A and B are shown apart, each in its own frame.
Chain A
Amino acid sequence: MASNEEILAGLAEIVNEETGLATEAVEMDKSFTEDLDIDSISMMTIVVNAEEKFGVRIPDEEVKNLKTVGDAVSFISNAQA
């Protein structure tokens, strides 16, 4: 089971791989759409890659609730618990 810091770091790597954004730009309070300019297709790619990396399932209906990076970190952390 990963700590929140580890989940954030892993998520930042996935976002970097998909969008080219620097990993440091991926911070807990950043909005995926407003701050990181991630479109819906990229978001789904990030979700699928996060599922594989963290061994969790993120239901499609849950994705719209993941507005910030922090939301995603919390969801993954709870799902792993």
Chain B
Amino acid sequence: MARKVVITGLGATTPIGGDVPTMWKNALKGVSGAHTLEDDWVAKYELPVHFAARASNAATEVLSRVEAKRMDPSTQFAVVASREAWADAGITEVDHDRLAVAFATGIGGVWTLLDAWDTLREKGPRRVLPMTVPMLMPNGPAAAVSLDLGARAGAHTPVSACASGTEAVHMGLDLIRSGKADVVVCGGAEAAIHPMPIAAFASMQALSRRNDDPEHASRPYDLGRDGFVMGEGAGALVLEAEEHALARGARIYAELAGTSVTADAYHITAPDPQGLGATRALKAAMFDGRIQPEDVVHVNAHATSTPVGDKPEYAALKAALGKQLDSVAVSATKSQMGHLLGASGAVEAVLTVMAIYDRKAPVTINLENQDPEIPLDVVTTARDLPSGSIAALSNSFGFGGHNAVIAVRSI
């Protein structure tokens, strides 16, 4: 029998709240974190997209100026979210050799990299700062969290584009089950609201162009959806071996029952139209967690609001859950906070845990004309989840054909 793993701490910094209580309150209310960008580079580079969902709170509200200047913005978000999760878990004593970190990013230190490139071209190599490499490296967030908490059982960085955050939670479960750690701080961070990634995502027609109405641009499952909205921030969870949590009398949010990762091996960016890879991931996560379709009452969907992405996920959910899908409350929270790329799975894991713990499904905004080809029971006003033993799933899919799913069960 595998070691049981529970979730005892949560942290987040997002476009709809700089901490978990604020984010959760807004997620149940239904707000938009997307706004017009005021930066001069939008006009300077004639970007086709003029808006994004910025983190609602600056990292420097938590970090000191000196701490912040040695970290890429993505790492700043990671440390902010992990400090909240760690404090929330209330762990006062831990064997640091048994404490691990699995902290993901999709893109890494893109601000640092491109700022350094600008400096090199404008001022020469001498002015490229010595901290450039440790700030731009994709393991920067994991390393900073490890350093901050004294986690010495390994600091890992799964990188699988927009599935990265969920894959970090998957890795965290493995680290505890396999006996390599007793406690893992896992999560994902992203800070890529920079003109180059915006230009690149826009170039591949992935971003919404609803420049005149940013708050209504992210509209998963709606017939008017025209692309995702860039978001930024981080989510973090403290995972703990159940016996470790019970021994210290911890408050337990939920059980991390099962996880899985699969690959489509179909196309570098397009999802398998039948959602076969996603179906295998869903079934594997449920099998891993000993979860039957009838246990599942809630899904936090990947649902990015792109015309092509939302349909295969429906096909996969239908294949994995069958007729139970009619009784599943589906939330597409990217409608509120945009797409946090490598952080999205981590933030959505936090939301899924809160949904199970609070027994409430968060809101999908901007659903006005639901795509008839996606007949899901979408939550548009906060909805109570049933009492008794319940389970929820959270999906993430990333460029490269990455599929990652976590299954959370009530305690």
Contact = CB atoms under 8 A, between A and B. Distances in A.
A29 interface: no
Contacts of A44: 130
B65 A20 contact: yes
B130 A51 contact: no
A42 B131 CA distance: 8
> Which of B127, B130, B131 gathers most chain A CB within 10 Å?
B130
Contacts of B66: 18-20
A18 B69 CA distance: 8
Contact of B126 (A20, A41, A42, A51): A51
Interface in A32-62: 41-42, 44-45, 48, 51-52
Interface of A: 18-20, 41-42, 44-45, 48, 51-52
Q: Which 5 A-B residue pairings sit nearest by Cβ, starting from the closest?
A: A20-B66, A44-B130, A41-B130, A45-B130, A41-B131
B379 to A, nearest CB: 46
Contacts of A51: 126
B92 interface: no
A44 B131 CA distance: 9
A51 B134 CA distance: 23
Interface residues of B, number: 10
| Main secondary structure on B side of the interface with A | helix
Contacts of B65: 20
Given A20-B64, A41-B134, A48-B126, 7 more contacts: A20-B65, A20-B66, A41-B130, A45-B131, A48-B127, A48-B130, A51-B126
A19 B130 CA distance: 14
B64 A45 contact: no
B150 to A, nearest CB: 18
A52 B131 contact: no
Interface in B115-130: 126-127, 129-130
Interface in B58-100: 64-66, 69
Contacts of A41: 130-131, 134
20 contacts: A18-B66, A18-B69, A19-B66, A20-B64, A20-B65, A20-B66, A41-B130, A41-B131, A41-B134, A42-B130, A44-B130, A45-B129, A45-B130, A45-B131, A48-B126, A48-B127, A48-B129, A48-B130, A51-B126, A52-B127
Nearest to A60: B126
Contacts of B129: 45, 48
Contacts of A48: 126-127, 129-130
A76 to B, nearest CB: 16
A44 B70 CA distance: 13
A51 B127 CA distance: 9
Contacts of B131: 41, 45
A44 B133 CA distance: 14
Contacts of A42: 130
Nearest to B66: A20
